[in-house]
Structure 1
Amino acid sequence: MLEIRPSHQRGHADHGWLKSQHSFSFADYYDPARMGVGALRVINEDRVAPGGGFGTHGHRDMEIISYVLDGALAHRDSMGNGSVIRPGDVQRMSAGRGIMHSEFNHSSDAGVHFLQIWLLPNATGIAPSYEEKRFEAAEKRGRLRLIASPDGADGSVLIHQDARLYAGLFEGAETATLPLAPGRKLYVHLARGQLSINDVVLHAGDAAILSQESALTLSAGQGAEVLVFDLA
């Protein structure tokens, strides 16, 4: 079974310094039919204006992944971490029993375009932690590169949930296939470009849910950058 979620059906928010599109219910956007898929609770496509950012605020019991598409996002948190993440970097923050952090675009002329992803953890009250790794474009070209997993396999960042996150770049004749185990679901989010999944065409911002299928096949990419979540 394949369910398509077109980009235009997402929630929208415009705060001036921040323009955001919500794949699932978030903040002032609420749709009882769009509360998440499995442990996947949030995918916000955020565009942060030059000089804008999220001031210091707190989280608890959430796995938070930031995936930058364009620009540079500065991070600081209450554990003493400070860094700037750019396209190719994947940041994972386990909020656990509590963490404070901020994310800013310190550029005076360039915006930041990134995906903010939240997954519910498989345990509450754990010690907060932070991890950041880089995955070059060559690692994602024409294939699905594992970037987050519950065991840190293949150099991926570690998340506290039975979920795996893959990223891929596809153009032209490049293809990839990902098997789907019985009882699991795949959530596909096309970050940009155009891509066929099981012969159905997606455009930037579109998403698809696969269940009761044997595999996901990606093909016919046009400047495509895609994230695929394997969920219980």
Structure 2
Amino acid sequence: MTATPNPQIDIRRADERFPTKISWLDSKHSFSFGRHHDPANTHHGVLLVNNDDVVRPGAGFDTHPHRDMEIVTWVLQGSLVHQDSEGHNGVIYPGLAQRMSAGTGILHSEKNDAWRLKGGDSHEDPVHFVQMWVVPDEAGIAPGYEQLEIGDELLKGGLVPVASGMEKHRDAAAIRIKNRYAALYAARLQAGQSVQLPEAPYLHLFVPRGKVRLEGAGALDTGDAVRFTATGGQKVTAVEDAEILVWEMHAAVAA
């Protein structure tokens, strides 16, 4: 982990993200990912991946491995089927928090084919989701999986803990991650509603849907993100109906 640097607010616009677009996938990467590598853009705090993915019906990510990573998936539209080598399977949909701990090694797949599990007809709806990776406190932990419905909490309009390893969320966070320095929040905001960001050495604000205004910085559109260092507490106000994802982090990966 590294020492906290000087205060900074770094706005990253949607069109600055690395794109991956193929027949079945439209993905935007906030940080270096796959063939896209920029040594100056590998992480913020302990967040290494913030992928904004749209997958067409009947397609998805075939079985592939992960190791020593806490992976949180947040669906905005449609549904995503998860299956892994530890025997876990489930359908992830809006309002469902899901975490996979890769630990010593895990294989999993993610497909836009929930209709198959239900025995229904094919559909034409894409699935839109954000997948985020943070490093665990320690390597070599046992793989794990957890999901929980938090849709009712989101209806209240405030920042809702989605996933956390922090002690302050022990009785509040929907799911636990194996990093005691990090927490993810989500908020669904109607036009005019506001939330206040936490204060932390590192924050990452992402706007996957809608348009908001950040106090002191102006408008943020769909796909925009802000990396805060040694600051926080700003107000975020929805200009139109919007959804935001916020990582609060009290440590950083060594550069």
Q: TM-score range by the shorter chain?
A: over 0.9
- Runs of 4 or more, structure 1, over 2 Å off, are 137-142, 211-214
Q: What's the Cα RMSD here?
A: 1.5
Aligned to 2:178: 160
- Of stretches 145-154 and 115-124 in structure 1, the one that deviates more from structure 2 is 145-154
Q: Work out which of the residue numbers 185, 190, 194 in structure 1 matches 2:207.
A: 190
Give the aligned residue type for 1:165: L
1:223 aligns with 2:238: no
Aligned to 1:113: 128
Cα displacement (A) at 1:211: 2.4
Given that 1:170 and 1:221 are in contact with CA atoms closer than 8 Å, whether structure 2 keeps it comes out as no
Which secondary structure does the structure 1 equivalent of 2:197 belong to?
strand
Cα displacement (A) at 1:141: 4.0
> Alignment identity in percent?
40
Partners of 2:245 and 2:186 lie apart in 1 by 5
1:207-218 equivalences in 2 (<5 Å): 207-218=225-236
Cα displacement (A) at 1:73: 0.5
Partners of 1:178 and 1:30 lie apart in 2 by 30
Partners of 1:16 and 1:78 lie apart in 2 by 27
Structure 1 or 2: more strand by fraction = 1
The verdict on how the C-alpha distance between 1:221 and 1:138 changes in structure 2, with shifts beyond 3 A counting, is: farther
Give the aligned residue type for 2:236: L
Aligned to 1:66: 73
The verdict on how the C-alpha distance between 1:81 and 1:220 changes in structure 2, with shifts beyond 3 A counting, is: closer
Given that 2:24 and 2:55 are in contact with CA atoms closer than 8 Å, whether structure 1 keeps it comes out as yes
Cα displacement (A) at 1:118: 0.6
- TM-score (ref. length: structure 1): 0.94
Aligned to 2:5: none
Which secondary structure does the structure 2 equivalent of 1:213 belong to?
strand
Where relative contact order (Cα < 8 A, 6+ residues apart) is larger, the structure is 2
- TM-score (ref. length: structure 2): 0.86
Which secondary structure does the structure 2 equivalent of 1:66 belong to?
strand
Cα displacement (A) at 1:186: 1.0
Q: Work out which of the residue numbers 217, 223, 241 in structure 2 matches 1:205.
A: 223
1:171-186 equivalences in 2 (<5 Å): 171-181=190-200, 184-186=201-203
Cα displacement (A) at 1:138: 4.9
Given that 2:203 and 2:232 are in contact with CA atoms closer than 8 Å, whether structure 1 keeps it comes out as no
Cα displacement (A) at 1:228: 0.5
Residues 110-138 of structure 1, C-alpha deviations (whole Å, 9 max, x = no match): 11110111111110000000000111155
Residues 82-115 of structure 1, C-alpha deviations (whole Å, 9 max, x = no match): 1111111111000000111111111531111101
Give the aligned residue type for 1:205: G
Given that 2:99 and 2:145 are in contact with CA atoms closer than 8 Å, whether structure 1 keeps it comes out as yes
Cα displacement (A) at 1:169: 1.3
Unaligned runs of 5+ in 1: none
